[in-house]
Amino acid sequence: MPKITLDKERVLKIIGKKLDDNQLKHHLGYLGTDVEAVTKESIEVEIFPNRPDLLSEEGLGRALRSFTGKEKGLRKYSAKKSNYKVIIDKSVKKVRPYTACAVVKGLELDEKKIEDIIEIQEKLHITYGRNRKKCAIGVYPLENISFPITYKALPREQVLFRPLGSDKKLTGKQILELHEKGKEYAYLLEKEKEYPLFIDGKGSIMSMPPIINSEETGKVSLKTKDVFVECSGHDFRVLSKALNMVVTALSDMGGVVHEVKLVNENKKTPEFNPEEVFVRKNYVEKLIGLSLSDNEIIGSLEKMGFGVSKKKDGFLVIIPCYRSDILHEADIVEDISIGFGYDKIQENNVRPETPGEESFKEVVKGKLRELMLGHGLLEARNYYLANYSFQKKYFPKDVVKIKNALSEEYDSLRFNILGSLLKTLKVNKHHDYPQAFFEIGKVFSKKGSEETGVKEEEALGVVFCGDNSNFTLAKQHLDSVFSLLGLEYDLVGGEDAFMMKGRCGIVKFKGKVVGFVGELSPVVLYDIGLEVPVSGFEIVIDGLFESF
């Protein structure tokens, strides 16, 4: 967790209310901070990663001002219309495709405030920006730059400017090799043939995100009154939230925010329009374990800085534009608990009516595991993640892709277990045949009726690899599974994307499809890199439990 030292006098001034040290510690503890020390001059705290909006005197003071009742409810911000433009060139799409920008005017800066601006940037880089990979932030003195600004990528050998802290101009490659910040963050650009740049209206390079600003155009000083702020990265929503955190803090310092038009993106930033979430009252009471009145819920939300209005069966909650941690109803309920006061929630010791025991489902899974091991199969444990392109080729409608995946190899949830087991066979090609593996685990598919839009199920997958791996071998083991469970299934003709046409069947239980069995398609085996016949089956275990 990032540790910050705040000016106590400034924080109390923002709150607008006298608080002694014990009161400060009490309130700070509830707001998602770990208080290190409160001295005469400073407040030392660690901020939990889910509240990056608290990483400044302005952010923390704003939250405490609301929490202490000085100014409850939604804090509104606005941006003045302007003619400032940033042109987004298509060349950045392959490198760092998005940016969100703003201009803030009328700042009265001193050394401490400049340090605070740098501190906000760096702490957001580390936490919310994931060390600048998701988000990098740049702040520039407006007096040194001309509009329109262009955000574009150039071949690295054409990049030449004087980075912050350097006494001479360096190429893009030299910056990564020689500059302190370049060496620290080189991994973010070193594989790219082109580097992203912000270039002002006079053709001066302002910065090479996410690495470093220019010494000539990117250094804020005591004479700076107006600043240009940009955030760059791979997810516009992340950038928009990061920009809001920075410019709302600058606004609370006394600055006036002006919008910037993003040419070719048809957007204007910053976007201060708050998001709305409907929260069910029965859901609130279920999670907290208390029966709260409407006024208690509304008061708790306003204390945490939310806007709220009563609706039928619940509340419409308006989320502040700088909050990035509200992803679900449950996050709202957590803030209701904080606003209401954990110390008001009485402990209720409930004596369990029954002793703990292994669930029936786990017992059955254990029996299936014993059966497979008894047949001489080896158990595999694979990741729940898989390659999207490979899965999409065979299951075009139902594969769940992961947003902002860290690797193309694992950028989706696995649709079935057989795909994972084929990878297991691939990494064991150097061992003798025959080989046989099984796995019991979760599979995922798109399901609109689920709360998350994703359906999770437990499945059993089995593969046999060798010269005698055929339909008969796979069906014999499938028969043994149903025999163990004391159930009967129907095998009907049909095709599965993984299976060889004419050498497979669809497994039905009480009229519902629960799996498939057969010999795997040579096309699939070729894609994986296997040269030996493979057969197997897969059944969804969850589909069988309704019979017990």
The confidence band for 25, taking pLDDT boundaries of 50, 70 and 90, is: confident
pLDDT score, position 446: 87
- In CATH, what number does 360-547 get? 3.30.930.10
For the stretch 153-162, pLDDT in tens is 999 889 999 9
Of 32-46, 151-165, 289-303, 365-379, the one with minimum mean pLDDT is: 32-46
User: 161 near 205, Cβ under 8 Å?
Assistant: yes
Q: With a cut of 70, say whether residue 548 has pLDDT above it.
A: no
pLDDT score, position 448: 64
In 3D space, the residue among 113, 110, 139 whose CA is nearest the CA of residue 220 turns out to be: 139
Task: Average the pLDDT over 90-103 and give the result.
Answer: 94
Q: With a cut of 80, say whether residue 346 has pLDDT above it.
A: no
Task: Average the pLDDT over 22-42 and give the result.
Answer: 82
Rounded-to-integer distance, Cα 87 and Cα 442, Å: 46
Q: Does domain 3-67 have CATH number 3.20.20.100?
A: no
User: What is the SS3 assignment for 10-39?
Assistant: HHHHHHCCCCCHHHHHHHHHHCCEEEEEEC
Superfamily name with CATH number, domain 85-269: Phenylalanyl-trna Synthetase, Chain B, domain 3 (3.50.40.10)
Does pTM top 0.85 for this prediction? no
In 3D space, the residue among 247, 265, 264 whose CA is nearest the CA of residue 256 turns out to be: 247
Cα distances (angstroms) measured from residue 328 to each of 229, 389, 450: 30, 29, 14
What does DSSP assign to residue 428?
Answer: T
For the stretch 431-479, pLDDT in tens is 899 999 999 999 998 876 667 788 899 999 999 999 999 999 999 999 9
For the stretch 371-428, pLDDT in tens is 999 999 999 999 999 988 888 888 777 888 888 777 778 889 999 999 999 999 998 9
- Left (φ > 0), alpha (ψ -120 to 50) or beta: where does 33 sit? beta
Which listed CATH number (3.40.50.620, 3.20.20.70, 3.30.56.10, 3.10.20.740) goes with 275-341? 3.30.56.10
Distance between first and last Cα of the chain = 48
For the stretch 236-255, pLDDT in tens is 999 999 999 999 999 999 99
pLDDT score, position 227: 94
User: 472 near 464, Cβ under 8 Å?
Assistant: no
Range list of β-strands (E), 244-363:
256-258, 260-263, 267-269, 275-280, 307-311, 314-319
Query: Where in the chain are the domains?
Result: 3-67, 85-269, 275-341, 360-547
Q: What would the two tokens of residue 189 be?
A: 């650009």
DSSP string, 318-342: EEPTT-----SHHHHHHHHHHHH-G
- What is the percentage of the chain residues whose pLDDT exceeds 70? 97
Beginning with the edge strand found earlier in the chain, give each strand of the sheet holding 435-446 in spatial order. 378-379, 435-446, 454-465, 534-540, 512-520, 499-509, 490-492
Is it true that 3-67 and 275-341 share their CATH fold? yes
Rounded to the nearest integer, the mean pLDDT of the chain is 89
